[in-house]
Amino acid sequence: MTALLIAFLALAGYTLAFGAACHALLHKRDSQAALAWVAFIVLVPYVGTVAYLLVGVSRVDSHAAQLLSSAAEAQEQADTLLDRRLPPPAPLIPPGEAAPPEQTVARVGRALTGRDPLGGNELVLLRNGEEAYPAMLAAINEAASHVYLSTYMFKGGLTGKAFADALERAAGRGVDVRLLVDGLGGSLYSWDKPWRRLGEAGVQVRRFLPPSLFPPDFSINLRTHRKVLVCDGLVGFTGGMNIGDHHLAGLPGKHQVQDIHFRCAGPVAVLLQEAFLMDWAFVTRRQTVPPMVTPVPQGKSYCRLVFDGLGRGRDDIHELLCGVIGGARERVAVMTPYFLPPRELSSALVSAALRGVDVRLILPAVNNLPYVHRASRHMQPGLIRKGVRIFFQPSPFAHTKLLLVDDYYALIGSANLDPRSLFLNFELNMEVFDPAFCSAMYDYFSEVLSRSAEATPDYYARRHLPRRLLDAAFWLFSPYL
């Protein structure tokens, strides 16, 4: 009887492994990822099969597609109402004039999103939590109608308490306050979770797909990395910052983080509101009719939101990055905390450099994820040999995400240049067409560059063989980091 049971379990295990391997072959879009999964499943059938079922991209992609389909249906009427209130987009250039480079680059986002940039926006750069948090808290305290906040992390400490208190006060004065916290990031990074008490204070709190045993849901890769705050549909905030003391770069400690965030006023604030409500519908499965807000022009920036996330059947931010870098004529400036670009994005950077475009990339000298840092370091010499210049920004760890192309285009938001952001997470980026804004961002980039050290071929050649082998070993797993 025991031998029969063992034979049955072995047959069942190998049958599941065969099915998992076939699923990976049919549904993986990257041949290297498919080969790695199939090899893992064949060599270690039981462990490989379980791992694939837990974190396999195709499985969570299917799950996301089902959820997005229901959310899209619930939000369709709300989006129609929103589109009726938004002013028709003005052209980036007057009719009849020759199309400048920015008009050509703008076509990439238009093809991916189906929308033109909206003008009349004012964007203000906020450096670190010292500038961003007071502005965000002031907006919450001044809100009269609604406050929508979405974040990956909501840590404890002084910052978390300040935001929790502000949200509680807003709900107490009758404001519609909604908080969306990632189901993993909101719980994993802090023992103290001040957002948990807000439900009792009248705040509508939801977690974005928290992993659970009952009912079983192990979609640990299905995370929202978006950072959005909108108050009354008039002012919004987005960028790379979570809620936590670690973004107060001036505080002592080895875990502090440098980052940037943006205050956004004008019609783009309504678009950020729409983005939040789409995620809210995703999580709650209920339609929310957007509050009636009449966008008021505030500045000269043209802005457009670009979303990314599983279940959409496409990778908009990745394709956008490749497209706009491919349209660069003079210079490309990039800042990212995690640099593990897919082959297409690496090729876009190299092609720009080979065309004579000045391509500069600023990475953190010290990374909070050492394995990502090592994997990235393995691929950097190849880029440098082709003309891409790489610089390392000194501590504290830099979490900044920024792309600048020539003198007219900026891309800001939540996405990193790694497979997790570009192919797994729910991300939100904003395109900005405005020479004045880009000039200010180049000033910021140049200031950071002046404090950074350039990586040279000698820097990599001096690394001992064991370290280079370790870098290469981590690089093998870059699609999963």
| 69-74: average pLDDT | 52
Range with top average pLDDT, 67-71, 318-322, 418-422: 318-322
Axis-axis angle for helices 45-55, 57-85 (nearest 10)? 10
For 262, half-sphere exposure in the C-beta direction (CA atoms, 13 angstrom radius) is 30
Say which residue, 133 or 291, is predicted with more confidence: 133
CA 165-168-174 angle, 5° bins: 145
List C-alpha distances in Å: 27 to 54, 56, 126, 312, 418. Answer: 16, 10, 41, 14, 20
| 157-181: average pLDDT | 96
Q: pLDDT digits over 34-66, tens only?
A: 777 777 777 777 777 777 776 664 444 555 555
Say which residue, 458 or 389, is predicted with more confidence: 389
pLDDT of the residue at 59:
45
pLDDT of the residue at 325:
97
pLDDT reading at 75 higher than 70? no
Per-residue pLDDT band at 433 (split at 50, 70, 90): very high
| 73-80: average pLDDT | 47
List C-alpha distances in Å: 110 to 9, 316, 326. Answer: 53, 11, 16
Phi-psi region of 148 (alpha: psi -120 to 50; beta: other; left: phi over 0): beta
pLDDT reading at 70 higher than 60? no
Per-residue pLDDT band at 78 (split at 50, 70, 90): very low
- State the CB neighbour count (10 A cutoff) for residue 58: 19
Mean of per-residue pLDDT scores for the chain: 85
Q: pLDDT digits over 171-201, tens only?
A: 999 999 999 999 888 888 778 889 999 999 9
pLDDT of the residue at 99:
47
pTM of the model: 0.86
Per-residue pLDDT band at 73 (split at 50, 70, 90): low
pLDDT reading at 104 higher than 90? no
Q: pLDDT digits over 206-265, tens only?
A: 999 887 766 656 567 778 899 999 999 999 999 999 999 999 988 888 889 999 999 999
Residue in 235, 36, 277 with CA at minimum distance from that of residue 142: 235
Give the separation between CA 290 and CA 275, rounded to whole angstroms: 11
Say which residue, 343 or 77, is predicted with more confidence: 343
Residue in 239, 415, 442, 409 with CA at minimum distance from that of residue 324: 409
pLDDT of the residue at 14:
74
pLDDT of the residue at 97:
43
* Mean pLDDT lowest among 119-128, 282-291, 415-424: 282-291
Q: pLDDT digits over 362-420, tens only?
A: 999 999 998 999 999 999 999 999 999 999 999 999 999 999 999 999 999 999 999 98
Within 28-97, residue ranges assigned H as helices are: 31-43, 45-55, 57-85
CB 432 within 8 A of CB 409: yes
pLDDT of the residue at 27:
67
| 95-117: average pLDDT | 75
pLDDT reading at 308 higher than 60? yes
Per-residue pLDDT band at 4 (split at 50, 70, 90): confident
Per-residue pLDDT band at 313 (split at 50, 70, 90): low
